Amino acid sequence: MEVPVKIISAEYVTHDVKQFRVERPADYSFVPGQATEVSVNLPEWKDRKSPFTFTALTDKPYLEFTIKIYPDRHGVTDQLSNLRPGDELILRDVWGAIEYKGPGYFIAGGAGITPFLAILRMLKATNQVADNILFFSNKRDEDIILGSELKSILGDRAHFLITQQKDTKNDRRRIDEAFLKAEVNDFSRHFYVCGPDPMIAAINETLVKLGAKPDSVVFEK
């Protein structure tokens, strides 16, 4: 399936992350946490596909993507950075293994927060936020995506970690075995993990080592 949709709005939410809202095709549905493959609807770009997660609530009349732009790669995100309302994207079938299965710990690195945005917004809308905790790691404070909204949803259960900025007021630890031992008090709960592939692999291995059940660790396989 390929569906062209017009961009309704496009604006930066950090220095290198742009939020796109697009038309929602009839009967197009998804589960919070899922994604689709997206192309720019131009002759030279329509066959260049990249996966992006839906970040709006499922009941909105539009679809939303919150996308980190990589201009130095000269790929799809660089092309997306030039698009304006009225330009078109091509959407495809919905897919993805990340979905909410119960209270637990959300562990995100950088743009890996995007599958969790729709989930956390859903939890807020349905009064299910309690007992969920977020650990969100970035290089610098300016890289935190929608930090104010995450704090408004989770309050002091949203923990921001900064790894490459000495003057940050946020936690400077890395999400490693020592951190997880210190901060997780129940490894029988669900863990939702998303970020760069090496980070996912390392955290998943550590979680299981510390007592998490493999089927309780939710990530994009």
- DSSP, residue by residue, 61-126: SEEEEEEE--GGGTSHHHHHTT--TT-EEEEEEEE-S----SSEEEEEEGGGGHHHHHHHHHHHHT
Q: State how beta strands 158-162 and 133-138 pair.
A: parallel
Q: State CA 115 to chain mean position distance.
A: 4
Q: What is the pTM of this model?
A: 0.95
- Shared domain check, 117 and 191: yes
Contact 32, 118 (CB under 8 A): yes
- Shared domain check, 197 and 130: yes
pLDDT digits (tens, 9 = 90+) for 128-150: 999 999 999 999 999 999 999 99
Residue 72 has a pLDDT of 84
- Picking from 105, 138, 117, 119, the residue whose alpha carbon sits closest to that of residue 217 is 105
Per-residue pLDDT for 57 more than 80? yes
- Shared domain check, 91 and 50: yes
Q: Of the residues 68, 95, 122, which one is the last residue of a structural domain? A: 95
- Shared domain check, 114 and 81: no
- Shared domain check, 9 and 81: yes
Q: Of the residues 76, 95, 114, which one is the last residue of a structural domain? A: 95
Per-residue pLDDT for 221 more than 80? no
- Shared domain check, 213 and 113: yes
- Shared domain check, 88 and 55: yes
Residue 220 has a pLDDT of 86
pLDDT digits (tens, 9 = 90+) for 193-214: 999 999 999 999 999 999 999 9
Separation of alpha carbons 133 and 125, rounded Å: 17
- Shared domain check, 74 and 162: no
The values of phi and psi at residue 189, to 5°, are -85, 175
The tokens of 188 are what?
């029988």
- In CATH, what number is assigned to the domain containing residue 45? 2.40.30.10
- Shared domain check, 72 and 168: no
**Burial (Cβ within 10 Å: 0-12, 13-18, ≥19) of residue 27:** exposed
* Host domain of residue 182: 104-218
- Shared domain check, 66 and 158: no
Residue with tokens 């993990």: 193
CB atoms within 10 A of CB 7: 20
- Shared domain check, 195 and 132: yes
Q: Of the residues 42, 70, 95, which one is the last residue of a structural domain? A: 95
Residue 15 has a pLDDT of 95
- In CATH, what number is assigned to the domain containing residue 136? 3.40.50.80
pLDDT digits (tens, 9 = 90+) for 65-83: 999 999 888 889 999 999 9
| Structural domain count of the chain | 2
- Shared domain check, 194 and 149: yes
Q: What is the pLDDT averaged over residues 34-45?
A: 96
